Amino acid sequence: ASRGEEPHLEAIRSGAETRWFEVHAHPLEHGTLHVASEVTERESTRAALMIRDRLSTLGLMTAGLVHELRNSLTYALGNAAMLSDALTEESHRQLADDTLEGIERLASLIDDANRFGRSNDRLRQTVPPSVEVKRTLRIARSDLR
């Protein structure tokens, strides 16, 4: 090994547990000295931080997506309501009303999911359990379809 060689990581499995070691090689006159330091905790912390960073990024992306969906749904709700009011033939009006109902369900589902994902203490308030059960069931019902 040459002077200044970069350390490398090695994983050693012992049963179900994996231990990580950082290995340094130092050249000597008649060989090489290898020094291994256990860095399992450091690597576990690094992995946990990477996961946390990914989840944070996913949360930001999701918030942006929800915002854009809400904006689009606002246009769709307004247009469907105006269309329903403007139509004179009952079958066409029923189609517009069905569309409006579907958009309202989607908007409600997005609101429920958005509310579920918030962790802001300023937004906390007392809510009857039945309201939260209904919101949770609406979210779960969409998964079951």
Helix axes 40-86, 90-117, angle to 10 degrees: 160
- Specify the amino acid at residue 144: L
pLDDT in tens, 56-108: 999 889 888 888 998 899 999 888 889 888 988 998 889 988 999 999 988 88
Q: With a threshold of 0.85, does the pTM exceed it?
A: no
Percentage of the chain modeled with pLDDT above 70: 88
Cα dihedral 127, 132, 134, 139, rounded to 10, equals 140
Nearest to 26 by CA among 56, 52, 5, 48: 5
pLDDT in tens, 60-73: 898 888 889 988 99
Distance in angstroms (rounded) separating the CA atoms of residues 134 and 145: 17
Helix (H, G, I), strand (E, B) or coil at 30: coil
pLDDT in tens, 18-64: 888 899 988 899 999 989 898 999 999 999 999 999 999 998 898 88
DSSP 57-77: HHHHHHHHHHHHHHHHHHHHH
Q: Which residue has the higher pLDDT, 15 or 43?
A: 43
pLDDT at 141 over 50: yes
